[in-house]
Chains A and B, each alone.
Chain A
């Protein structure tokens, strides 16, 4: 085990993948620049050479297609976008080709491409550097969509994504890049399509992913001090979803809260609630709760983001209400020492 940040864990996973398999290539805007995509691609070029690690033209759509073609030729490309928002230029190649190839040619060939996309937030990222569009990718059959919430998961899920035979959209929240944790050495892989049960409670089932898992952890630690104990399920893979784990928990707790970093309408949270209402209606003891972002873009000014995001205090008070308690979550707010638009003192932008 080594203590490292989420970003270092991503970097570690890339080094391992490229060592294990000479067919892994790593490219994208910023891959080999001095900032190395927030440090996640540091050292790759030096260790694996310019044939396997390279900058690309600002051609997101074609370079996604190039990755698909290289994958069909037997390689395992890892493409990175410093913001998900930039990858929107490549939706044609992702949806019409990567997601379809295996199905539309009768199962002959799959496309083992991994596309990393970084999700922005705060520090004035504004409407087009902060979109959490996991629901859009999850809506496309044939794509796997992964959202890691810790350093160890970042490594294990990225390695699993790279060696999965199918296209995987790997979403990294920028605010998690400095999160520390113990990470196992070597080729450590976690299964895709399986949730991670973080805590075993019984009062409420809380489902979350990525940054919302961290917010929920703060909320649940606080609530445990008030004798409220929850099942906390981190999705890890937001598509396809590990329904059985969620159903099993809801059958026990009878209550479901889903926290989502995307906007509410058409969200993963909405999908989970719809499915659980259909599958576990008679188990539910109170209306499920969806906590997600408002159906507006994120504004740039700090004054516009102050109340925009779902945070630990919102999760805590919602859970308390679900179990018929009134708990003032102000302590959670007071505990926060950094300004609302940054994840911590380590982050002072620019992005």
Chain B
């Protein structure tokens, strides 16, 4: 679990807490750099940033095995990176380059890295939920010990396909880990305008026959522990589990900016959640425990900065797809 390829010095940094913090900081840095450079107009596709809610992707990503599979939706950068997805080809995809993970055909909303089990993210809310269940159907059919993690948001449980897919997962006791990031908003619409007051998502899902529970989505260590426990239960043949994590998206729904001034939420609410910053929280705790110090932080910052800069440099220098690529890949020949 600890020997992640991107760790600066795996020999000395094998404590799990530091792995989590490293991954958290890395994801945060990648997305901050995307936000910083977005106005250069070279990333010419919609982007949906997870800044503020990275703890879920980080904790769950580290709790999964590489052989486990994952799918996600439009806000997928963190899920992809948390699962171990290749940073360089993700950034290249945002830049529309042929070196991108989808050869420039998908953009930010269509990330894929099958080498680490990230099977794809798509742009229609709820769209990959049944696909994840189908992957799990295959796993059960072939009697592997894998599981499929389906990342979804609070709005995805409003789609019909969620209920249909959840029902089938429960019916067949499929190895599915549903991970719901409840960040309160679907675009600019609060949960209270979309779901009845007093009804908890995880409780409703429990009513469908899938054990559901709710957790702090800004505590990356707790997310990890919860996901490990759920994954073990699933691997023991216990059927699907549903984890709801309360968290908050700091920036606008789509794009690089903050949008607390446009009227759908308040600056005060944002500041309340910002105080729960998952990166700062874990950093504080690890420092208190003596697991990290200034030198670790400096080194980590340096390593991440260099990796992120290299990914952006490579993406910017990479070639675009040739014009005739627009007319390729419609059908597979084999």
Chain A contact residues, CB within 8 Å of chain B: 25, 51, 56-57, 59, 61-75, 92-93, 96-97, 101-110, 141-142, 144, 165-166
Let me know if B119 is at the binding interface, CB within 8 A: yes
Query: Looking at the complex, which one of B130, B328, B330, B332 makes contact with A61 (CB distance below 8 Å)?
Result: B130
A67, A93, A105: most-surrounded residue (chain B CB, <10 A)? A105
Q: Is A92 in contact with B330, judged by CB distance below 8 angstroms? A: no
Given contacts A106-B103, A144-B331, are A67 and B134 in contact (CB under 8 A)?
yes
Instruction: Contact check, A62 vs B165: say whether CB atoms are below 8 A apart.
Output: yes
Residue in chain A with minimal CB distance to B119: A72
Judge whether B134 and A69 touch: CB under 8 Å. yes
Q: Judge whether B112 and A108 touch: CB under 8 Å.
A: yes
Partner of A59, one of B132, B137, B168: B168
The residue from A57, A103, A141 contacting B168, defined by CB atoms under 8 A apart? A57
CB distance from A232 to the nearest CB of B (A): 28
Q: Given A70-B137, A72-B138, list of 18 further CB < 8 A pairs? A: A59-B168, A62-B167, A62-B168, A63-B164, A65-B165, A68-B131, A69-B130, A69-B136, A70-B138, A74-B138, A97-B122, A97-B131, A101-B120, A102-B330, A105-B110, A105-B112, A107-B329, A108-B114
| A62 in contact with B135 (CB, 8 Å) | no
Residue of B with least CB distance to A51 = B141
Report chain B residues within 8 Å CB of A93. Answer: 127, 130, 161
Number of interface residues of B (CB under 8 A): 44
- B89's nearest neighbour on chain A, judged by CB, is A106
Q: How far is the CA of A72 from the CA of B139 in the complex (A)?
A: 11
Q: Is B124 in the interface zone, CB < 8 Å from A?
A: yes
Contact with A along B88-117 (1 / 0, CB 8 A): 000000000000111111100010101000
| Pair A57/B105 contact, Cβ less than 8 Å | no
**Closest Cβ neighbor of A25 among chain B residues:** B141
Residues in A with CB closer than 8 Å to B332 are 102, 107, 110, 165-166
Contacts of B164 in A (CB 8 A): 57, 59, 61-63
Map CB proximity to A onto B290-334 as digits: 1 under 8 Å, 0 otherwise. 000000000000000000000000000000000000001111111
Given A57-B168, A106-B101, does the pair A64, B130 have CB atoms closer than 8 Å? yes
Chain B residue numbers with a CB within 8 Å of A102 are 329-332
Q: How far is the CB of B74 from chain A (nearest CB, A)?
A: 12
B134 to A71, Cβ gap below 8 A? Answer: yes
Across the interface, A73 reaches (CB within 8 A) one of B104, B139, B160, namely B139
Contact of A103 with B105 at beta-carbon distance under 8 Å, contacts A69-B132, A75-B141, A142-B331 already known: yes
